[in-house]
Structure 1
Amino acid sequence: MKPFKTLDAIACPLPQSNVDTDQLIPARFMKRSRADGYGGFLLYDLRFDENGEPKTDCPLNDTIRQGAQILVSRRNFGSGSSREAAVYALVDYGVSCVIAPSYGDIFASNAVNNGLLPAVVSEEDCEALLAGLQDGADTATVDLEALTIRCANLVVPFTVDPVWRTKLLNGWDDIDLTRSHSEAIAAFAAADRERRPWMQPNRPTTAKPEA
């Protein structure tokens, strides 16, 4: 994954609570191949009417929000089923960061594993960010190293699990994270062989072929 340090990008307000994974990508689209991309189905029923025409009142359809990489929403974002396709839809659309007061646990974990930052802000700061965006601001800067968000005249702090922060800053998946501790793992294994030799597996010896 690409390391996430600072993101300065178009931001879109989504002033709704409990945006669940079925809203993020309706189940009827999950039969399609991921190779075809899921971005076109992100929040489909919010963005389009029954005839497939864009809804004019949807923030994502606003011309100044096109190409948004930052999404600001209310509490309990990504609740519902554990479908990782919800994160795929966001990432394929181009979203690299969601800002909200809380998230569905599985959604947040899936997000980090796909390079998407789930930034946690207070309810008060969330409302201030939404107000700023709705009043005309169209960009925000998310600094993962400083754990701050800048938008209009606002500078607000955010939190993220420290392990997730490490993974995102380095562009690591879980295997990369484990490898980062390889020296400590090797030292432990060596010390354990000395301390408990009887616990080491018996390795079969290869018999030499007869002459």
Structure 2
Amino acid sequence: MDALIPRPALELAPGVVHVPGWLGSDEQRELVAACREWARGPVPIRHTRLPRGGVMSVQTVCVGWHWQPYRYSRTADDVNGLPVAPFPDWLVRRGRQAVARAYGASAAAERYTPDTALINFYDGDARMGMHQDKDERSSAPVVSLSIGDTCVFRVGNTETRNRPYQDVELVSGDLLVFGGPSRYIHHGVPKVRTGTADPDCGLGSGRLNITLRETGLG
């Protein structure tokens, strides 16, 4: 693992913690390799179709549980009907390390047990509108890892998609965790800054966002 100079964590709102440069280059490349495997299947990466007929501009692949608007299932009935790839133990450990880094080492961090990951790939034209992550039965924190091109991440409020919100840049290797009073904030990605990725991250272009969650579905 490459040596890193610790950088301070930034609390953007109560329960929203940004840790710049949390993942080193080796760790980023390992995650990119894993995401490439998951993208090939058994349920391949795809543009998710929304209930009203729209198609998301990001491409998504799931691990552990399959997400489709607005529910989870073990099989990808909206794609090919197959079970998604299992959620690996090493990713549970990564999630616990992330929560401990954001909130401090504690029994709660050790109990954190994500069982699904949504991996979103953004090309230069992809965006994510303001939304809440609220399809889970668990209120455990969401862990977000960024690899590749820098994005503008919009941190909103729990009541509305509109203001007040603040924008922060997430760079390759950054960690963002949101939980507690901000677990159900509206958030989105209005812009990806193409061509800004660190060449050592393992991703030639675009942005990968890996979000770890506890579904609470057992």
TM, length-normalised to structure 1: 0.29
Task: Report which of the two has the higher share of helix.
Answer: 1
- Which of the pair has more CA radius of gyration? 1
Task: Report which of the two has the higher share of strand.
Answer: 2
TM, length-normalised to structure 2: 0.28
